[in-house]
Chains A and B, each alone.
Chain A
Amino acid sequence: MIKGLAITTVWVLDQDRAKEFYTQKLGLEVRTDMTMGDGGMRWLTVGAPDQPDVELTLMVPGPPAMDPESAEMMKKLVAKGALGAGVLATDDIHGDYKRLKDRGVEFLQEPQERPYGTEALFRDDSGNWFSFTQRREGGLDFEKEWS
């Protein structure tokens, strides 16, 4: 029986900078930051204080998971802004939008009303885009235009 999502990967260009961004700017907490073995892979995960059972692992593309050529392609995709990394939930989209913006987070779209809630879009410092959404109570609004 699958119990849910525990960890998912966000590909970043630099773990130190990503750690700072995800904690200082987004307000997530560091769950684990350790290096496996001598000179091995750095396992860095962050999560939302209100959601202790879900983590993002912030990984730099490269060995052992990826050959150099793939890693290079992945870094390029991240940097050019092609990849979305997920939807982050909030219960105060307008307040959080202002707070994050004031901390220098790059927003692609200010909060807008959608059938599924109120949604803004931002990028992390590597180039991954996130939807930042306050879900609509009661589910989808089928009366609302999608554009």
Chain B
Amino acid sequence: MRQLRLAKDLMDRDWADPALDLEAVADRAGYSRYHFLRAFKEAYGETPRQYLTHRRIERAEDLLRTADLSVTEICHLVGFSSVGTFSARFKARTGLTPSEYRAKHVGRGAALIPGCYAMLWAGGFRRSEQSNSGEAG
């Protein structure tokens, strides 16, 4: 379990790194890849890749709401290398394309939540489908 936690912490720390390689994460956790996926999912409710995507999309939501950056810039900032993939993943998770999401939330700043909570809990664990407005990054 400690190894799984280390792997998750690594993703929480380095989620923006496009080169963050889940093979390496599994290696570091000292599991075979297959067993790592299963054990991680059992502990955290998502596979490592889903978890990482989840963190990246949530971060992108924050940036779309609060930052004066283009969708392409945000896509790269949160660690996606392809805008197409980013938009598809974003829509799958939020139901909106990045541009639609931004239009909907324009002018709404991030809520006041201390960074530690935002970092740890903005998607740290699986939740029921609920609105993410109200979380800073």
Contact of B115 among A80, A81, A127, A147 (CB under 8 A): A147
Report whether B9 and A81 are in contact in the complex, using a CB–CB cutoff of 8 Å: yes
Number of interface residues of B (CB under 8 A): 27
Q: Which of A39-74 contact B (CB under 8 A)?
A: none
Residues B13 and A119 in contact, CB atoms below 8 Å apart = no
Contact of B120 among A108, A127, A146, A147 (CB under 8 A): A108
By CB atoms of chain B within 10 A, which of A76, A80, A114 has the most?
A80
Minimum CB–CB distance from A100 to chain B (whole Å) comes to: 15
Q: Report how many A-B pairs have Cβ atoms within 8 Å.
A: 63
Take A84-B120, A121-B120, A131-B116 as given contacts and tell me if A147 and B9 are in contact as well, using a CB distance cutoff of 8 Å: no
Is the C-beta of B48 less than 8 angstroms from some C-beta in chain A?
Answer: no
- Whether B114 and A147, one on each chain, are in contact in the complex, defined by CB atoms closer than 8 angstroms, is no
Which residues of A have CB within 8 Å of B37?
Answer: none
Distance, CA A146 to CA B113, complexed state (A): 7
What are the nearest 7 A-B pairs in CB distance? A79-B1, A147-B137, A146-B136, A81-B5, A147-B136, A131-B116, A114-B115
Residues of chain B touching chain A, judged by Cβ–Cβ distance below 8 Å, are 1-2, 4-6, 8-9, 12-13, 43-44, 62, 66, 110-116, 118-120, 124-125, 136-137
